[in-house]
């Protein structure tokens, strides 16, 4: 670090933090990017890791590699607190040691985590899909369930093994349900002798009255029809009141026996949001996100920007919002340093919203325009290839897509022994 240079600290290397770091490239500042993992996570494709299409490396490129041409400091650690008066953040390294890092400007982009709405005990039976560990765990559960169904002789137990319940019908839930249906009815077809994969049930549940509530209603209707056609049972206005090892219980008493349950039902801000709100006196919304000023700073703290899923902006929790927010915050800081302050508030430019249903099938909402089916899917393909970070990722990802969508292959189907043992230990604990 050069002496006396303005110190910018960015918390989080998701879309918000990464785009802020890139946009700060040429600013006369010393930039430190702090993240709890060594990789940037391309979250919109996490469901493809969970369903065996992509490898974890393809959706999680190392931050150092993505930013290798930038002059900045990448530090591994979780930011657990902010000292607003002293202008430092407290960073906890993976080995438990804590260090303080000083800032002059701070961009907080620590994202969101999954919320079980107070039912945290659901988590061990119904993992969510927010990080690489989750995706590998879900992948292991899905593929292992088919394998165990092949061995199971009791018809009832086999049906339970072949039943997959996804709770939450936002993009992640819809994409997971579509992919599991494709696995059972297409990719894995003919690979089992004893289990009849046509018995597979994929149940997509949501308390809302439609799938993809962030999309225009006709697209929700379209997506639901497509899911149903693929063999997904879509059950709306349905609340889950309990999740256990053997299944889920619905409001009204109905029970669905299911070995594999996946939670895709909602997000909350990370604990850092509450710490930051405490420290700055900022207000938060119901999900714990911080209410920011129109320029994305915390009221009374022009040196602290909050971008992406941590900010309460009345915008969807999508990558574009975080990217644009990160870039805006970086430009605002660079502008102050170069004497050309940014005077316009942050304005989100909505490039549209899309979700895949299955191969060659997606819905996309661009302004007032609706696209679905193959056309929607081509748009999804183009956009995701465009935004995938790094040349190599694009090429191998494209190749894996060719294999999975044109062919039937799922190349990443590993369940590690560690994962299987951990689940066996859990089952034995429950049985005791």
Catalytic residue annotation: 175
Burial of 424 (0-12, 13-18, 19+ CB in 10 A): exposed
Backbone angles phi, psi at 84, to 5 degrees: -70, -40
| Closest to 142 (Cα-Cα) out of 426, 414, 409 | 414
Binding residue for its own copies, selected from 26, 80, 228, 411, defined by CB under 8 A: 411
Burial class for 53, CB neighbours closer than 10 Å (0-12, 13-18, 19+)? buried
> Smaller CB distance to its own copies: residue 67 or 319?
67
Number of amino acids touching its own copies (CB under 8 A): 62
| Region near its own copies per CB under 8 A, out of 35-43, 265-273, 347-355, 356-364 | 35-43
Q: What share of the chain is helix, strand, coil (3-state, %, to 5)?
A: 40, 25, 35
What sign for the dihedral angle of Cα 233, 236, 238, 239?
positive
Phi then psi for residue 407, to 5 deg, are: -90, -155
Assess 123 for contact with its own copies (CB under 8 A): no
DSSP notation for 272-299: HHHHHHHHHT--B-TTS-EE--TTSEET
Question: CA 169 to CA 100: how far, in whole Å?
Answer: 41
Using an 8 Å Cβ cutoff, are 244 and 257 in contact? no
Residue 429 contacts its own copies per CB under 8 A: no
Q: By three-state DSSP, how is residue 78 classified?
A: strand
The only residue of 418, 425, 426, 429 in contact with its own copies, by rule CB under 8 A: 418
Q: Are strands 361-366 and 201-205 parallel, antiparallel or unpaired?
A: unpaired
Q: Nearest CA to 422 among 131, 163, 149, 124? A: 124
Query: Which of 11, 15, 17, 58 forms a contact with its own copies (CB under 8 A)?
Result: 58
CB of 231 to its own copies, least distance (A): 21
275 binds its own copies (CB under 8 A): no
* 118 CB neighbour count, 10 Å cutoff: 7
Q: Which is nearer to its own copies, 33 or 322 (CB)?
A: 33
Which range binds its own copies by CB under 8 A, 53-61, 111-119, 298-306, 341-349? 53-61
Find the binder of its own copies among 5, 150, 199, 216 (CB under 8 A): 150
Q: Which of 102, 374, 395, 426 binds its own copies (CB under 8 A)?
A: 395
Minimum Å gap between C-beta 158 and its own copies is: 13
Sign of the CA dihedral with 172 first, then 147, 56, and 425 last: positive
Are 211 and 243 in contact, with CB atoms under 8 Å apart?
Answer: no
**Which two structure tokens, joined as six digits, stand for 71?**
């002059």
- How many whole angstroms separate alpha carbon 237 and alpha carbon 254? 14
Which is closer to its own copies, CB of 66 or CB of 282? 66
**Residues numbered 163-222 forming contacts with its own copies, rule: CB under 8 A:** 188, 190-193
Q: Is 253 in the site for its own copies (CB under 8 A)?
A: no
CA-CA distance, 209 to 80, in Å (whole number)?
38
Subset of residues 93 to 122 that bind its own copies, contact rule: CB under 8 A? 93-97, 99
Count of CB atoms situated within 10 Å of the CB of 241: 11
Contact pick of 17, 77, 231, 325 for its own copies (by CB under 8 A): 77
In the list 100, 217, 340, 427, the residue contacting its own copies (rule: CB under 8 A) is 427
C-alpha span between 53 and 222 (Å, rounded): 25
CB of 109 to its own copies, least distance (A): 20
Segment near its own copies (CB under 8 A), from 127-135, 206-214, 279-287, 314-322? 127-135
Among the residue ranges 33-41, 214-222, 329-337, 375-383, the one whose residues contact its own copies (CB under 8 A):
33-41
Q: How far is the CB of 36 from its own copies (least distance, A)?
A: 9
Asked if 407 touches its own copies (CB under 8 A), the answer is yes
Cβ closer to its own copies: 221 or 245?
245
From the CB of 82, what's the least distance to its own copies, in Å? 20
Q: Does 92 bind its own copies (CB under 8 A)?
A: no
Rule CB under 8 A: is residue 416 a binding residue for its own copies?
yes
64 sits near its own copies (criterion: CB under 8 A): yes
Residue 136 touches its own copies, criterion: CB under 8 A: yes
Contact footprint for its own copies (CB under 8 A): 37-39, 52, 55-58, 60-62, 64-65, 68, 73-77, 93-97, 99, 131-133, 136, 143-144, 147-148, 150-151, 188, 190-193, 390, 392-393, 395-396, 399-400, 403, 407, 409-418, 420, 424, 427
């Amino acid at each position: 670090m050069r002496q006396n240079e303005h110190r910018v600290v960015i918390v989080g290397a998701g879309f918000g933090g990464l785009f802020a770091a890139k946009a700060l490239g040429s600013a006369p500042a010393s930039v430190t990017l702090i993240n709890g993992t060594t990789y940037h996570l391309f979250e919109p494709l996490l469901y493809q890791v969970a369903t065996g299409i992509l490898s974890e490396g393809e959706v999680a490129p190392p931050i150092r590699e993505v930013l290798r041409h930038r002059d900045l400091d990448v530090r591994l650690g979780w930011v657990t607190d902010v000292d607003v008066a002293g202008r430092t953040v407290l960073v906890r390294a993976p080995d438990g040691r804590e260090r303080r890092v000083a800032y002059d400007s701070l961009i907080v982009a620590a994202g969101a985590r999954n919320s079980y709405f107070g039912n945290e005990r659901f988590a061990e039976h119904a993992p969510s899909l927010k990080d690489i560990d989750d995706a590998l765990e879900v992948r292991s559960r899905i593929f292992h369930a088919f394998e165990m169904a092949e061995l199971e002789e009791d018809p009832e137990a086999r049906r339970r093994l072949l039943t997959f319940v996804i709770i939450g019908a936002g993009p992640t839930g819809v994409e997971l349900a579509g992919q599991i249906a494709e696995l059972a009815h297409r990719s894995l077809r003919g690979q089992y002798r004893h289990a009849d994969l046509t018995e597979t049930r994929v149940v997509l549940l949501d308390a809302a009255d439609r799938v993809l509530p962030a999309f225009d209603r006709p697209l929700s209707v379209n997506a639901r029809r497509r899911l149903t056609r693929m063999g997904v049972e879509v059950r709306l206005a349905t609340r889950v009141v309990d999740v256990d090892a053997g299944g889920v219980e619905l409001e009204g008493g109905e029970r669905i026996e299911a070995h594999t349950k996946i939670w895709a039902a909602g997000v909350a801000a990370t604990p850092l949001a509450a710490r930051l709100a405490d420290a700055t006196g900022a207000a938060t919304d119901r999900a714990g996100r911080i209410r920011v000023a129109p320029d994305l700073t915390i009221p009374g703290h022009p040196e602290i920007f909050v971008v992406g899923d941590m900010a309460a902006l009345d915008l969807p929790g999508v990558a574009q919002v975080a990217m644009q927010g990160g870039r805006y915050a970086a430009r605002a800081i660079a502008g102050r340093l170069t004497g050309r302050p940014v005077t316009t508030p942050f304005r989100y430019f909505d490039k549209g919203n899309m979700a895949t249903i299955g191969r060659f099938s997606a819905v996309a909402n661009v302004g007032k325009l609706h696209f679905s089916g193959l056309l929607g899917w081509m748009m999804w393909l183009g956009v995701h290839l465009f935004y995938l970070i790094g040349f190599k990722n694009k090429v191998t990802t494209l190749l894996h897509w060719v294999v999975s969508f044109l062919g039937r292959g799922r190349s990443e189907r590993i369940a590690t022994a560690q994962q299987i043992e951990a689940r066996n230990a859990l089952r034995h604990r429950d049985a005791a």
